[in-house]
Amino acid sequence: METKEPHILLIEDEPDVRESYISMLDMLGYNADTAENGMEGLQKVMSNNYDIVITDLNMPVMNGLETLMRIKKKAPQIEVIVMTGYATIDNAISAMKQGAFDYITKPVSIEHVKIVLSKCHQQIEAHRENKKLRDLNTRLSELNELKDKFITITTHEIRTPLAVLKGYYELIDLQIDRKADPELDEYMEIMSGTIQEMIEMLDSMHDLSNFDKAIREYKNSEFDVNKILESVYKEFKVLFDQRNISFYLSPENESAIVNADPALLKRAIRELTQNALKFTDKEGTVTLHLKKIPLKNKVFLMVEDTGIGIPAHKIDLIFEPFYEVQDVMYHSSSKTGFMGGGIGVGLSLVREILNTCAGEIAVESSPGKGSTFTIILPLS
Ligand code: ADP
């Protein structure tokens, strides 16, 4: 923690005593301004940024207790240390009740002053760090809100012109004979693919900005996760076949009951399976495994691929929204083709989903060899 010398004001009416305290503070490595009485002290507090005020309690014009109360009213962040003789220790106790940081008894011991000032300095630094963290936190929340707003507005604003584009495309498609001109047919096919891709991209962005709501409305129930794996397997089998990738399901023979939202969990497994499909080249293998660990009361759902893998130092980053390891400029246009497009939100959604059912996710990956994403859920 980087510390800053505290800015100190010493209020003491006796000139000799004041001088001796200044020398003592100097010896301890502190510089201090001085004031001859409470009134002057208050004026200085109003025009300077002091961190600590050390004040005598027994003074003419305005006594130390009154000075303390006025300082605390005007500048509550200033720490006030009061000095008093043993005979008037009750005053010190009253001062503590009015918000003094601590008291020093007269005649002062240099060791005591050193300890009190050092404690006070530490407290000021701790407050300063806390304030910095609070400010940073507020700023981050504001930025996060701004990001969500940006996504919502962008998604909405792009959807309208895209709908117009799609409408005219469909109109042209109805009016021309595509089969008569193979070149034209190909152009139309590309246009339709691109429009569809943009719609899917907007859907993903919309998903991300609306996901909080879906997450808040999740409904957990007990079900067998084997069923979800089977259903995702059936959905994706044809896509893996098209890409010439071997796709296997290795279920558990017994049931594995978990307590989660079935639709959200299916979404999470779909995202992982879709990534395995995108990041595995033809002739590769992707397997969905299910493993029950009754001793630990857990079930592991694994999506294992022999794809491109992920460098170790990027593994934590892939769960951040919009993060993609590969250069987005080299995306293929298909969502299911090798290195296919996406906007880097799938894994952040998976992580959010797992928060709703006490689930965790682990990744093992080796570049060029493949990756295994494991969802770990408590068994019911
Ligand atoms: P998207 O797939 O839409 O890009 P994700 O959040 O699902 O977004 O994934 C983020 C990034 O993590 C991907 O762009 C990719 O770089 C990397 N990644 C995810 N799954 C795999 C995988 N099975 N193999 C290799 N890289 C992966």
Residue of 85 and 243 predicted with greater confidence: 243
Mutate to test the pocket of ligand 1, among 318, 319, 339 (most ligand atoms within 8 A of CB): 318
CB-count burial class (<10 Å; 0-12, 13-18, 19+) for 144: exposed
Nearest CA to ligand 1 atom 19: 275
- Residue 213: predicted pLDDT: 67
Nearest CA to ligand 1 atom 8: 344
Mutate to test the pocket of ligand 1, among 208, 274, 275, 353 (most ligand atoms within 8 A of CB): 275
Nearest to 95 by CA among 109, 110, 79: 79
24 alpha carbon to ligand 1 midpoint, in Å?
64
- Residue 85: predicted pLDDT: 82
- Residue 212: predicted pLDDT: 67
343 alpha carbon to ligand 1 midpoint, in Å?
9
Residue 182 burial (CB count, 10 A): 9
Of all residues in the chain, the percent with pLDDT exceeding 70 is 95
- Residue 335: predicted pLDDT: 67
**Is there an atom of ligand 1 within 6 Å of 342 CB?**
yes
325 alpha carbon to ligand 1 midpoint, in Å?
7
Mean pLDDT of 343-363: 92
pLDDT of 194-252, one tens digit each?
898 888 888 877 777 677 666 778 889 999 999 999 999 999 999 999 999 999 999 77
**Is there an atom of ligand 1 within 6 Å of 346 CB?**
yes
Q: How far apart are CA 179 and CA 24, in angstroms?
A: 98
Binned at pLDDT 50, 70 and 90, residue 129 comes out as: very high
Mean pLDDT of 323-339: 69
Nearest CA to ligand 1 atom 4: 344
Q: How far apart are CA 176 and CA 355, in angstroms?
A: 51
pLDDT beyond 60 at 175: yes
- Parallel, antiparallel or unpaired: strands 79-85 and 52-56: parallel
Residue of 46 and 253 predicted with greater confidence: 46
Mean pLDDT of 330-349: 74
Mean pLDDT of 317-346: 75
275 alpha carbon to ligand 1 midpoint, in Å?
6
Mutate to test the pocket of ligand 1, among 279, 339, 348, 365 (most ligand atoms within 8 A of CB): 279
- Parallel, antiparallel or unpaired: strands 257-260 and 221-224: antiparallel
**For 222, left (φ over 0), alpha (ψ -120 to 50), or beta?**
beta
Q: Are 225 and 266 in contact (CB under 8 A)?
A: no
Region of poorest pLDDT, from 172-186, 187-201, 230-244, 281-295: 187-201
Region of poorest pLDDT, from 230-239, 326-335, 364-373: 326-335
Mean pLDDT of 324-342: 69
pLDDT of 156-167, one tens digit each?
888 888 999 999
**Is there an atom of ligand 1 within 6 Å of 347 CB?**
yes
- Residue 253: predicted pLDDT: 75
CB-count burial class (<10 Å; 0-12, 13-18, 19+) for 177: exposed
Mean pLDDT of 287-308: 95
- Residue 216: predicted pLDDT: 74
- Residue 79: predicted pLDDT: 96
Which atom of ligand 1 is the closest one to the Cα of 342? 3
- Residue 151: predicted pLDDT: 79
Please state whether the predicted TM-score (pTM) of the whole model is above 0.85: no
Residue of 59 and 375 predicted with greater confidence: 375
Mutate to test the pocket of ligand 1, among 324, 332, 352 (most ligand atoms within 8 A of CB): 324
239 alpha carbon to ligand 1 midpoint, in Å?
18
- Parallel, antiparallel or unpaired: strands 370-378 and 360-366: antiparallel
311 alpha carbon to ligand 1 midpoint, in Å?
12
**Is there an atom of ligand 1 within 6 Å of 184 CB?**
no
**Is there an atom of ligand 1 within 6 Å of 64 CB?**
no
**Is there an atom of ligand 1 within 6 Å of 340 CB?**
no
Average pLDDT, the chain: 90
Place of tokens 């010190």: 92
Query: For residue 296, what are its two tokens?
Result: 């630990």
Nearest CA to ligand 1 atom 7: 346
Which atom of ligand 1 is the closest one to the Cα of 343? 3
Residue type for 174, please? L
354 alpha carbon to ligand 1 midpoint, in Å?
17
Which atom of ligand 1 is the closest one to the Cα of 204? 3
- Residue 198: predicted pLDDT: 87
pLDDT of 25-67, one tens digit each?
999 999 999 999 999 999 999 999 999 999 999 888 788 999 9
